[in-house]
Chain A
């Protein structure tokens, strides 16, 4: 009887693990979370000291995947295996802890993970997010810690952040709204083929460098007085350096093909 109970419990655990909809882990002693995936990701602030990873069900602009049909009956009594690592979470993730760094590698493809990952992290934790080599976009909201984020074609939206920010997209738009600018380290925002739109509090102290090789640069900060559409066109095809207010931390913004918009937050 005892053996039967253990077997039943084991099957129950396996079924829970293989079909779980969330992954949760305590972040005690962790200062930085590094996530590598191929899909869309949205990260917001949670109230606990845990990382919670689930499906990005509320994504309004994620591309729908209708090519792959996961027939759960067919995979019954089987477990998924992956080419690029071992799933030690039951959620298609390989999680590795090294000192105060937690590394998460998403083992599922963009199609399998579609529409994406919805992640909740505690305030104050540093975030490294790489959305891979496809069209995964990144949305990160409400963090006052360091954020570094890379996408290939997908856009980057950082909302109510204070940095330092290191953002790079090959061809996606980058939109960042700062609620304050951390003076601890430099911020660099780059894209090769799209526009960058950055909003800073009007009293920000910073040394700014703006560069668009083929696009134009617009701002309502006090750079150069050439008016165009309410914002000032302050240059094209060149590097523009200026301090704003009292000067301070370095903020470098550059796009090869796109325009740069640097706005004051009212």
Chain B
């Protein structure tokens, strides 16, 4: 067996993937060949280093993208007449090892980023769950200041779930304190495109006695250009106890919506 054949099979030799006969032949050759002995030692050392790198599984999408990328690179190489290194077994192995190192390192770095993102997401989710619990608890407190503080936590939610929105809608409709209702309306205005929020604002417009809150609701409904708001606005316009400045605001709003 020549040196070139030994180098070709050195990884399989280390990993004992050869027949007994081949193993015996390579062992005998290495005993007498200093070059192949060095190759064996270097390869073993490199594989040991590989084993120290933690396993990382690429996502299905990344795998698919990688396969597609390799496939297109192969086609491009054939089209451009790039010479395969496959004929030269030594360079072929070096290339394979280098490529392996590259992909392992790439995977390692990618894993770092993915893990960091995952940890950040977990921290954000945990924080939001904690804030949700805190917020829902505070909104039931006897103290209006605490309820307003609870409503303020709404700012922390990028995608508030239905339970949080319902709790805020409940504050807006039923809280005995005007400032808490005002705070709830302001908080809900940040998600005024939500159908539940829009229909709740329309429902509450005729029930809300405070002129400042009425005006705030009218502003939100006009900005969302929802023509369903016209009916409650017209009712409010006809009420004797609606203040003049609310009526003025409604007249402007009605012409904006028509």
The 9 nearest A-B residue pairs measured at CB: A185-B145, A164-B145, A166-B144, A168-B178, A192-B212, A192-B211, A188-B179, A148-B144, A256-B212
Q: Mark A175-196, 1 if CB is under 8 A from B, else 0.
A: 0000000001111101111000
Pull 10 A–B residue pairs with CB atoms less than 8 Å apart, ordered by A: A166-B148, A166-B180, A168-B179, A186-B148, A188-B145, A188-B179, A188-B183, A192-B211, A192-B243, A213-B215
For A202-242 the 0/1 string (1 means CB < 8 A from B) is: 00000000000110000000000000000000000000000
CB distance from B145 to the nearest CB of A (A): 4
Q: Which of A163, A188, A213 has the most CB of B within 10 A?
A: A188
Q: Please name all residues of chain B whose beta carbon is closer than 8 Å to the beta carbon of A164 when the two chains form the complex.
A: 143, 145
Is B146 interfacial (CB-CB < 8 Å)? Answer: yes
Q: A13 vs B139: C-alpha distance in the bound complex, in angstroms? A: 45
Given contacts A150-B177, A166-B179, contact A190 B148 (CB under 8 A): no
Which residue numbers of A lie inside 8 Å of B, CB to CB? 32, 101, 126, 128, 146, 148, 150, 163-168, 170, 184-188, 190-193, 213-214, 250, 254, 256-257
Residues of B within 8 A of A148 (CB): 143-145, 177, 179
User: How far is it, in angstroms, between the C-alpha of A105 and the C-alpha of B245 when the chains are bound?
Assistant: 32
Query: Judging by beta carbons under 8 Å apart, are B145 and A190 in contact?
Result: no
Q: Is B152 an interface residue (CB 8 A)?
A: yes
B211–A187 CB distance below 8 A: no
Instruction: Write the residues of chain B forming the contact surface with A, with a CB cutoff of 8 angstroms.
Output: 142-146, 148-149, 152, 177-180, 182-183, 210-212, 215, 243, 245
User: For B145, what are the chain A residues with a Cβ–Cβ distance below 8 Å?
Assistant: 146, 148, 163-166, 184-188
Interchain pairs with CB closer than 8 A, number: 68
- A188 vs B152: C-alpha distance when bound (angstroms): 12
Evaluate contact between B143 and A146: CB separation under 8 angstroms: yes
Give which listed residue, A146, A192, A213, A214, contacts B210 with CB less than 8 A.
Answer: A192
Q: In the complex, what residue of chain A is closest to B176 when comparing beta carbons?
A: A130
Contacts of A192 in B (CB 8 A): 210-212, 243
Complex formed: what's the CA distance from A250 to B149 in Å? 9
Most A CB contacts (10 A, CB to CB) among B145, B177, B178, B183 go to B145
Given A190-B182, A254-B212, 14 more contacts at CB 8 Å? A148-B179, A163-B145, A164-B145, A166-B180, A168-B178, A185-B143, A185-B145, A185-B149, A188-B148, A188-B182, A190-B178, A190-B179, A191-B212, A193-B211
Find chain A residues with CB under 8 A from B243 CB. 192-193
The 8 Å CB contact of A170, one of B144, B149, B180, B211, is B211
Query: Residues of B contacting A32 with CB < 8 Å?
Result: 142-143
Q: Bound state CA distance, A167 and B148, in angstroms?
A: 12
> What's the minimum C-beta distance from B220 to chain A, rounded to whole angstroms?
14
Asked if A257 and B210 make an inter-chain contact with CB atoms under 8 angstroms apart, the answer reads: no
A126 and B152 alpha carbons, distance in the complex (Å)? 21
Cβ–Cβ contact A168 & B215, under 8 A? no
Complex interface: chain A residues within 8 A of B178 (CB): 150, 168, 190
With A and B bound together, what is the CA distance between A148 and B141 in angstroms? 13
Q: Whose C-beta in chain B lies nearest to the C-beta of A190?
A: B179
Task: Tell me, in angstroms, the Cα distance from A193 to B246 when the chains sit together.
Answer: 11
Cα(A154)–Cα(B152), bound, Å: 29
Q: How far is the CA of A186 from the CA of B177 in the complex (A)?
A: 14
Roughly how many angstroms separate A250 CA and B152 CA in the complex, as a whole number?
A: 10
Taking CB atoms, residues of chain A closer than 8 Å to B143 are 32, 126, 146, 148, 164, 185
> Which of B146, B149, B183, B215 sits near A256, CB closer than 8 Å?
B215
Q: Are A166 and B211 in contact (CB under 8 A)?
A: no
| B residues near A190, Cβ cutoff 8 Å | 178-179, 182, 212
How distant is B143 from chain A, measured CB to nearest CB, in Å? 6
In the complex, A164 Cα to B179 Cα: how many Å?
Answer: 13
Alpha-carbon distance between A167 and B178 when the two chains are bound, in angstroms: 9
Give chain B nearest CB distance to A103 CB in angstroms.
Answer: 10
- Knowing A32-B143, A192-B211, A256-B245 touch, does A168 contact B148 (C-beta < 8 A)? no
CB of A257 within 8 A of CB of B149, answer: no
A165-B145 Cα distance, complex, nearest whole Å: 7
